Structure 1
Amino acid sequence: MNQPLFLQPVFQERIWGGTALKDQFNYDIPSDKTGECWAISGHPNGQSTVVNGEFAGKTIGELWNEHRELFGGHPSPVFPLLTKILDANADLSVQVHPDDTYAKEHENGELGKTECWYIIDCDEGAEMIFGHTAGTKEEFVSKIENGEWDELLRRIPVKPGDFFYVPSGTIHALCKGTLVLETQQSSDTTYRVYDYDRRDAEGNTRELHIEKSIEVTTIPHRNADVKPFVEKSDGVEVTKFVEAEYFSVYKWQVDGYASFVQDQPFQLASVLDGEGTLKVQGESYSLKKGDHFILPADVETFEVEGKMDLIVSHV
């Protein structure tokens, strides 16, 4: 095959969603409460579909099950990663995710959820909730039971270009006015700790998962240290944000022409800004803001040309 797999995303409506996915990426969104673009996904709750080449019309999950050679024969029973773009038009619930062991036991064999965020854009003065102040489980439970959220939750400022690594067990929430690219394990398990007592259109509050949250939260909070590493070569500046157990994530700032050797079983790529061309085995593919693609195992070398920013990840 020797060609990239371009993908049609799936959109998810959320109580906190907005229109930024249409306004910034020109996506055809289902409503003005669209919170998530599942851009590269093999998860059963929203699968991306291939739009080009011999596998057009196939989902990532189907390719993972039927053509594992495209992914270097990777041993995971499911496609292991999920790339999303999140439009936090309002505050997300304060939440925490389980690790693999807990999820396997309590969530029907689902993967745990370690994730990371690249801040694409945000309002002036935007912030997020990242971690908590409790030193012990008793203190954590007491602050939840007494509704002492302002004392319990750590808030930190964010700006475009920031990157955050969010291991399972981390209390977190994106806050209003942030647009984020998320790379995560392929999991849809979220435990809500607090949802600001807000109600949906029918007047109902959303379900909370206090007991499970207490069981999986890391106490005391541990900051995941991110030390970006920048390498410059002709035509591209590559920033490695994280190299961790479940994924490695990079930003490619392309300005001109650059060639690459694929040294991973497969790579996931999302164009966040600009435009250009991807060349594989003499074939040219145009790239523009909002495009998402996979470079499968049989793409051994490739070239990019243009002026664009991409977020790239691999297992």
Structure 2
Amino acid sequence: MWLPANQPMQFYAGGESIEALRGVGNARTDHGPEDWVGSTTTRYGQETAGLTMLANGQWLRDAVRENPENWLGKAHSARFGGDPAVLVKLLDAGQRLPVHCHPSDAFAQRHMGSHFGKTEAWIIVGTPADGGDVHIGFREDLSGSTVADWVAEQDTSAMLGALNTVTVRPGDTVFVPAGLPHAIGAGVFIVELQQPTDLSVTLEWKDFLDSEAGGHLGFGYDVVLDCVDRSRWDADRLKQIVRHAEDASPVTDLLGPDAAGFFRAQRIRGGASLDASFSILVALEGSGTIRTESGEVAVNKGDTYVFPHAAGPATVDGELVAIRCLPPEVTL
């Protein structure tokens, strides 16, 4: 099923790169930096904002819940019920994002009433000509009191300065485990995969959010700062999560085994043979045809699609380059 842009209002600027990919007039550029593609997840505290609506007027979330085995397959639905367990976004950082992190599953279950935390990964698809900056992981071990003081004082320079600055370019990927503090720099355009929540602990809330409460989601910083990874991330540790995965194979695994328990992503090209799976497709370049047991669809640059597991195996023809986003790896 072809999907239109789905860009809930955000607190930060962006959207022009989404419009450039999708085509002029097919995306919002006024504080629409995130396109929630094939989303069954709502924005934090909202009833429907963030959800994808299908052409028949039904929420994708409800369609999946009504027939989970058709959409998700027997193994996945046996474990997760009617939840795809993945959220895909196009994210266009029109400005630098604040320093923030996300809770783990265990922390979210214990403190936030959520089954899922928010481990995520970034597939870099656009940057300024000389590369873009992302800020990830503290350069030195830090005490809880140090981080708490920075947050209380909203010491932006200290928080940002304590992080590693890494230059990324198209073709790079970054796996971001829960708890890892990070900020995406202006001009970086990504396909983001994440666990299906909108849980963010925003350490640097001033000049970004309306209030301090938005930074700790109403739970209090005395609670949520315990989810922050304050350990040292040196060059060797960073090499484990920042990768370059550009090649010309028909199917390229972009995120590797560390991510597979949370989500998976492939770069696919003409000639690819794909297994049956619920999947979200983001077409980055060219055009082609995807053929499944239930028919075929023409795919062009900027298109986004959701495919149910019941569509079966597929093949890809043409000059298409796309990102195929998949749920966690599950076996019976």
Give the match for residue 215 of structure 2. Answer: 208
Which shifted more, 288-297 or 118-127? 288-297
Structural mapping, 1:31-46, within 5 Å: 31-44=29-42, 45-46=49-50
Question: In the alignment, is the contact (CA less than 8 A) between 1:131 and 1:171 conserved in 2?
Answer: yes
Specify whether residues 232 and 215 from structure 1 end up closer, same or farther in structure 2 by C-alpha distance, changes over 3 A only.
same
Q: Distance in 2 between matches of 1:281 and 1:151?
A: 52
The alignment status of 1:127 with 2:130, answered yes or no, reads no
Q: Which has the higher strand share?
A: 1
Regions of 4+ moved over 4 Å: 142-146, 226-233
Question: In the alignment, is the contact (CA less than 8 A) between 1:6 and 1:292 conserved in 2?
Answer: yes
The alignment status of 1:307 with 2:304, answered yes or no, reads no
Specify whether residues 212 and 286 from structure 1 end up closer, same or farther in structure 2 by C-alpha distance, changes over 3 A only.
farther
Identity of aligned residues (%): 22
Structural mapping, 1:1-315, within 5 Å: 5-18=1-14, 19-26=16-23, 28-44=26-42, 45-51=49-55, 56-70=56-70, 71-73=72-74, 74=77, 75-77=79-81, 78-109=83-114, 111-123=116-128, 124-138=130-144, 139-141=146-148, 144=151, 147=155, 148-195=158-205, 197-198=206-207, 207-209=214-216, 210-222=221-233, 223=237, 225-226=240-241, 236-243=250-257, 244=259, 245-252=261-268, 254=269, 256-262=270-276, 265-281=277-293, 283-314=295-326, 315=328
Question: Which string of whole-angstrom CA distances, capped at 9 and with x for unpartnered residues, describes residues 162-204 of structure 1?
Answer: 1000010010111111111101111101110014x4267xxx5
Q: Which has the higher helix share?
A: 2
Specify whether residues 237 and 109 from structure 1 end up closer, same or farther in structure 2 by C-alpha distance, changes over 3 A only.
closer
Question: In the alignment, is the contact (CA less than 8 A) between 2:195 and 2:262 conserved in 1?
Answer: yes
Q: Distance in 1 between matches of 2:112 and 2:66?
A: 25
Query: Which sections of structure 2, spanning at least 5 residues, go unmatched?
Result: 43-48
Specify whether residues 136 and 276 from structure 1 end up closer, same or farther in structure 2 by C-alpha distance, changes over 3 A only.
same
Question: In the alignment, is the contact (CA less than 8 A) between 2:135 and 2:160 conserved in 1?
Answer: no
Which shifted more, 167-176 or 74-83? 74-83
Which shifted more, 267-276 or 224-233? 224-233
Q: Distance in 2 between matches of 1:216 and 1:286?
A: 44
Q: Could you state the TM-score of these two structures normalised by the residue count of structure 1?
A: 0.84
Q: Distance in 1 between matches of 2:291 and 2:123?
A: 26
Which shifted more, 111-120 or 122-131? 122-131
Task: Give SS of 1:8's match.
Answer: coil
- What displacement does 1:157 show? 1.1
Give the match for residue 45 of structure 2. Answer: none
Question: In the alignment, is the contact (CA less than 8 A) between 2:294 and 2:311 conserved in 1?
Answer: no
Specify whether residues 269 and 212 from structure 1 end up closer, same or farther in structure 2 by C-alpha distance, changes over 3 A only.
farther
Q: Distance in 1 between matches of 2:172 and 2:245?
A: 14
Q: Distance in 1 between matches of 2:266 and 2:193?
A: 11
- What displacement does 1:42 show? 0.4
Question: In the alignment, is the contact (CA less than 8 A) between 1:43 and 1:187 conserved in 2?
Answer: yes
Q: Distance in 2 between matches of 1:84 and 1:150?
A: 24
Task: Give SS of 1:80's match.
Answer: coil
Q: Could you state the TM-score of these two structures normalised by the residue count of structure 2?
A: 0.80
Task: Give SS of 2:310's match.
Answer: coil
For the aligned residue pairs, the C-alpha RMSD in angstroms reads 2.6
